[in-house]
Amino acid sequence: MLGSTVSSAFTRSRRDLLVYVATTPYHGPAGTDRHVADALSRRAPVVYVDPPTSLVNRVRTRRSTGTSPPGRGPRVVSETLAVISPRVPPAISRALVHPLEAPLVARAIRQALRRLAPQDPGSAPVRGVVSAHVAAPWSAVPALRRVYFATDDHVAGADLLGVPRARLARQERATLRGADAVAAVSPVLAERLAEGGRRVHLVPNGCAPEAYADVDDAPLPTDVSLRPPVAGFVGFLNDRIELTLLEAVADAGISLLLVGPQASGHRSDRVHALAARPNVCWVGARAFEELPGYLRLIDVGLTPYADTAFNRASFPLKTLEYLAAGRPVVSTPLPATEWLDTDLIRTAIEPADFAAQVVALSTSGRIPEQVRARRAFAGSHSWAARAEALEALLSLQTSVEVIR
């Protein structure tokens, strides 16, 4: 059911509403989509559209997590943010089924808007649609402004996503044609999308400095007992991560804390062998609100991305989050890290070098002056600043300044 806050947030006019079409569910691990939508909702009411899911996937989620996925909605998260979860048939990515996805998502959005803004006719436009989905549902609802916000290189990640590359490329071209403005999360991705002559604005990932302001006073987790110093990895254990680097850190004798879920079928034997070591603790997925307690434990944050086209076009959230917590970072070389242009992040690509950098920082990472410098740097890359840049595109501004 809709909460009582709907009357104050969503019943003024569709022209006040933003529709954010996401690539990750709002109630899953907090990523770019959720953070951006939260920041935008402080400026205008936002309707967050989860990736469509089938009843089969909902049952699997319930069995694997022990929790029931949220209903199709709309569900009010805050006074200015509601979430909808479109339903689709099973195996929606298959060739004969995927054409049903777009009309079903469009119908779910239209139904939600009728409930959230019942005083306006269906032909009334919303203020704007921001789509992080490569197949943007531009025709779902009239909008004053349409912005494609590329948060990943979906075409480069076709194998990882399990979707035919040709289909993703075709969807991307259609989305670019229908967008009034285009933004990309990384320099590499912005350059690729601009190859056809399209102007692309760089709006990188950010962080929530306020979430980590009191990290050293956060409640200590009860499921970790590692000897300091501790190196930490927060995120998905999937094909994007170079496990050899994590193994090298553990080989060096540093305690290793892993926080995050494992992708289904991803090198299960190696991951579980690593987690079984006496100096390694893997706690699995944790809510964003719990992360400060785990970051309190670590002395060095790790961003061990594999060297792939998909990763080169990405902008890891975890790097800025480690800095916001005041922790030093060791990362593999990425264009996004080069763009940040700071000596607060050390880079290495070979396992021995990566582990050596971690060892070197493990005993000096909490020097107060350096902690303040890291937090100050992260503070200039807040989600509020990123939302401001996207709102400029939604407001027909032609110039977007990204705070560095």
Residues 138-180 have pLDDT tens digits of 999 999 999 999 999 999 998 888 889 999 999 999 999 999 9
Q: Is 54 in the same domain as 192?
A: yes
CATH of the domain at 322: 3.40.50.2000
Phi, psi at residue 382, to the nearest 5°? -80, 160
What confidence score (pLDDT) does residue 256 get? 98
What confidence score (pLDDT) does residue 73 get? 64
Going by C-alpha positions, the residue among 124, 131, 327, 125 that lies closest to residue 218 is 327
Q: What is the 3-state secondary structure (H, E, C) of 281-348?
A: EEEECCCHHHHHHHHHHCCEEEECECCCHHHHCCCCHHHHHHHHCCCCEEECCCHHHHHHCCCCEEEC
Q: Is 360 in the same domain as 221?
A: yes
Least-confidence region, from 5-9, 35-39, 110-114: 5-9
Confidence class for position 71, pLDDT limits 50, 70, 90: low
**89 falls within a domain:** yes
What confidence score (pLDDT) does residue 320 get? 97
Q: Is the pLDDT of residue 66 over 90?
A: no
Cβ-Cβ contacts under 8 Å for 325 (sequence gap 6 or more):
212, 215, 292, 295, 296, 301, 375
The length of the chain in residues reads: 404
Q: Residue 290, Cβ neighbours under 10 Å: how many?
A: 15
Q: Is 349 in the same domain as 231?
A: yes
Confidence class for position 389, pLDDT limits 50, 70, 90: very high
Q: Is 320 in the same domain as 222?
A: yes
Q: How many domains does the chain have?
A: 2
Longest dimension (CA), the chain: 64
Under 8 Å between Cβ of 387 and 42 = yes
Under 8 Å between Cβ of 78 and 52 = no
Q: Is 162 in the same domain as 240?
A: no
| Mean pLDDT rounded to a whole number for the chain | 88
Q: Is the pLDDT of residue 70 over 60?
A: no
**404 falls within a domain:** no
| 334-341 contacts at long range (C-beta below 8 A, 24 or more positions apart) | 334/303, 334/305, 335/186, 335/187, 335/188, 336/186, 336/187, 336/188, 336/204, 336/205, 337/303, 339/186, 339/187, 339/204, 340/381, 341/404
What confidence score (pLDDT) does residue 184 get? 97
Q: What is the CA radius of gyration of the chain?
A: 21
**1 falls within a domain:** no
- 169 CB-contact burial (10 Å; exposed 0-12 / middle 13-18 / buried 19+): middle
What confidence score (pLDDT) does residue 10 get? 66
Q: Is 176 in the same domain as 301?
A: no
**400 falls within a domain:** no
Confidence class for position 65, pLDDT limits 50, 70, 90: very low
Q: Is 103 in the same domain as 243?
A: no
Q: Residue 315, Cβ neighbours under 10 Å: how many?
A: 26
Least-confidence region, from 31-40, 108-117, 241-250: 108-117
Mean pLDDT within 28-49: 93
Confidence class for position 121, pLDDT limits 50, 70, 90: confident
**402 falls within a domain:** no
Under 8 Å between Cβ of 154 and 43 = no
Q: Is 74 in the same domain as 195?
A: yes
Domain membership of residue 213 as a residue range: 209-379
Q: Is the pLDDT of residue 94 over 80?
A: no
What confidence score (pLDDT) does residue 2 get? 43
d(CA 183, CA 193) in angstroms, rounded, equals 9
**343 falls within a domain:** yes
**288 falls within a domain:** yes
Q: Is 200 in the same domain as 238?
A: no
Q: Is 220 in the same domain as 322?
A: yes
d(CA 310, CA 400) in angstroms, rounded, equals 25
What confidence score (pLDDT) does residue 46 get? 95
What confidence score (pLDDT) does residue 300 get? 97
pTM for the whole structure: 0.89
From residue 329, how far is each of 31, 302, 319 by CA, in Å?
Answer: 19, 6, 7
Q: Is the pLDDT of residue 56 over 80?
A: no
Within 13 A of 187's CA, how many CA atoms are on the CB side?
9
Q: Is 236 in the same domain as 374?
A: yes
Q: What is the 3-state secondary structure (H, E, C) of 27-60?
A: CCCCCHHHHHHHHHHCCCCEEEECCCECHHHHHH
Q: Which residues on adjacent β-strands are paired with residue 47?
A: 19, 82
Torsion of CA 251, 374, 318, 234, to 10 degrees: 50
Q: Is 234 in the same domain as 189?
A: no
